[in-house]
Structure 1
Amino acid sequence: MAAQPEGTPCWADATFADLEGAKSFYGDVLGWTFGESAEEYGGYTQAYSGGKAVAALAPPMPGQDDTSSAWCLYLASPDVAATAGKVRDHGGEVLLEPMQVGEFGSMLLARDPSGAVFGVWQANRHEGFGKRGEPGAYAWAEVFTRAPEKADAFFPGVFPYRVKRIEDEHVDFTIYQVGEDAVLGRMKMTEEFPPEIPPYVNVYFGVPDCDAAVAKATERGGRLNFGPMDSPFGRFAAVGDPQGAAFAVIDMSTTKGEMPTIVDAS
């Protein structure tokens, strides 16, 4: 599998104070199995679905806040140092300077001007998701922000995105495309979001049955934040795990309703 085109979501990971608890939760909810923890990389542990790498879990790094957990989405780059420059040039903040991760690749962490944190990955041996768009694997992601105009200027400035807009008076939603492929969404956070929730990137994982996944998540101590809801893209729900990391589950085989009208917004 070749490295993904620039700007394409290519990996996701999260840190957990209780790594074993997280492995148990995601193993039950998403059907993941786990490899051996890489102690030389701080206990970084890859998750697998059907033998394919789909995400990773890790304990907090020394000095890192271990009271909150969050999923981090990584966007592909052919040159993380150049991407770091673009992040700064367009008003973003580099939180973790470009660093090489052994022979696997190079990474950085950044925050867009509206406040959402994301990662950038320059692949070497580790090219990213072993599969996507299937149960147990990454399916989609959206930048949730209270300043959509900032996000819509920043992300297409840093990455080669074309911007499309969904025509719907009820939501402020844009789609970032690489060529003709939709790779990332941007949703405006409304007053329904408590003010203490910062902007974030919501990562969707595929499941064979949305309602069953929600039931399992809440049974295991997680919480339901929104849904389940039918859509033309699948039946989905926003949930949180017992350690506070928010994510979404989507059954892409169960669709309902007409596809929205999408217009050019570049």
Structure 2
Amino acid sequence: MTEARESAGPYARRAPGGPCWVSLMAHELAATEEFYAELFGWEFQPGPQQLGPYVRALLDGREVAGMGQLPPDRRLPIAWTPYLATEDVDGTADAVRLCGGTVAVGPIDAAEAGRLAIASDPAGAVFGIWQGAAHLGTAITGVPGTPAWNELLTVETESVAKFYATVFGYEEDPVVDAGFDYVTLRLDGRPVAGLYGVGNALPRDRGSHWQTYFEVADTDAALRLVVELGGRVLRPAHDSPHGRVATVADPEGAEFSVVQDPH
């Protein structure tokens, strides 16, 4: 799941379809910053402000994620949202609509960050589309405190896999296993995201949604810290082929997973 990698500088171009950023919209931005600063060691810098108050999270001076503040009157789900790279956000937004998805925000210009849109797939899962200008997203991965993987939880994978493959050009790599519905999305043979069909186990209050995994040095220690900081453990730590994994929620309820690299 994880792979130690630093991009070729913070302004490196990303292959179209590649995950390039994760962003969280919260109600109490200052308190949310404190939680993630303690958990992941992040520091914060402001901007861009096109969608309201927004900060970029930095680790060792390099950008890893973003956080914005929801307007008080917007009672939207608090959730981490992955952004997928594109060379033409307007064309990609058109493709989303043609393939049965919805574009909720944009495309809009985001100052030096480029141009972006926020969309949802036919099953309702929200994701971002980002056409980078000078700046394009997460500058380092593969170390604790950085995004490691993005996974879509949905009822079944077949229809949404076709949607993402058509819009972004992914290759589909399904798991052939009775009773297990999983598709890995690849670009040029490299795994970039997963689709997990969980059937009736999908939470009714959330519906289909993307989930971000963050790398940690010690999953069990991270869970203790999450609880100390006011968050919750939703799925306890367990060992997987990709490392020791758990799912948690921050104090406002934003869900994410943590993974300890087994190597």
Q: Normalized against structure 1, the TM-score is what?
A: 0.90
Please tell me whether residue 17 in structure 1 is matched to residue 17 in structure 2. no
Secondary structure in structure 2 of the residue aligned to 1:230: strand
Corresponding residue for residue 260 of structure 1? none
Aligned mates of 2:214, 2:194 — CA distance in 1: 15
Residue by residue, what CA displacement relative to the aligned partner does 1:166-193 show, whole Å, maximum 9, x if unpaired? Answer: 2333421110000111001000124334
Structure 1 pair 40/161, CA: closer, same or farther in 2 (3 Å)? closer
Q: Is the 8 A contact 1:113 1:151 kept in 2?
A: yes
The CA deviation at 1:61 is 4.2
The CA deviation at 1:64 is 3.1
Corresponding residue for residue 50 of structure 1? 60
Q: Is the 8 A contact 1:224 1:240 kept in 2?
A: yes
Secondary structure in structure 1 of the residue aligned to 2:112: coil
Corresponding residue for residue 178 of structure 2? 169
Aligned mates of 1:164, 1:251 — CA distance in 2: 24
The residue type equivalent to 1:124 in the other structure is A
Aligned mates of 2:98, 2:48 — CA distance in 1: 35
The CA deviation at 1:65 is 2.6
Q: Is the 8 A contact 1:115 1:145 kept in 2?
A: no
Corresponding residue for residue 5 of structure 2? none
Please tell me whether residue 152 in structure 1 is matched to residue 161 in structure 2. yes
Query: Mind listing any 5+ residue stretches in structure 1 that lack a counterpart?
Result: 256-266
Report matched runs for 1:96-111 at 5 Å.
96-111=105-120
The residue type equivalent to 1:208 in the other structure is A
Q: Is the 8 A contact 1:145 1:189 kept in 2?
A: yes
Aligned mates of 1:155, 1:179 — CA distance in 2: 15
Aligned mates of 1:17, 1:104 — CA distance in 2: 23
Corresponding residue for residue 142 of structure 1? 151
The residue type equivalent to 2:133 in the other structure is N
Please tell me whether residue 85 in structure 1 is matched to residue 94 in structure 2. yes
Q: Is the 8 A contact 1:114 1:147 kept in 2?
A: no
Question: Which of 109, 121, 127 in structure 1 is aligned with 2:130?
Answer: 121
Q: Which moved more, 1:132-141 or 1:162-171?
A: 162-171
Secondary structure in structure 2 of the residue aligned to 1:224: strand
Corresponding residue for residue 70 of structure 1? 79
Residue by residue, what CA displacement relative to the aligned partner does 1:70-106 show, whole Å, maximum 9, x if unpaired? Answer: 1110000000001011101111111112111112200
Corresponding residue for residue 27 of structure 1? 37
Question: Which of 236, 244, 249 in structure 1 is aligned with 2:253?
Answer: 244
Corresponding residue for residue 231 of structure 1? 240
Corresponding residue for residue 219 of structure 1? 228
Aligned mates of 1:227, 1:163 — CA distance in 2: 30
Secondary structure in structure 2 of the residue aligned to 1:226: strand
Aligned mates of 2:132, 2:47 — CA distance in 1: 20
Secondary structure in structure 2 of the residue aligned to 1:173: strand
The CA deviation at 1:23 is 0.8
The CA deviation at 1:110 is 0.6
Q: Which moved more, 1:219-228 or 1:46-55?
A: 219-228
How many positions carry a matched residue from both structures?
Answer: 253
Q: Normalized against structure 2, the TM-score is what?
A: 0.91
The CA deviation at 1:147 is 3.5
The CA deviation at 1:154 is 0.4
Corresponding residue for residue 131 of structure 1? 140
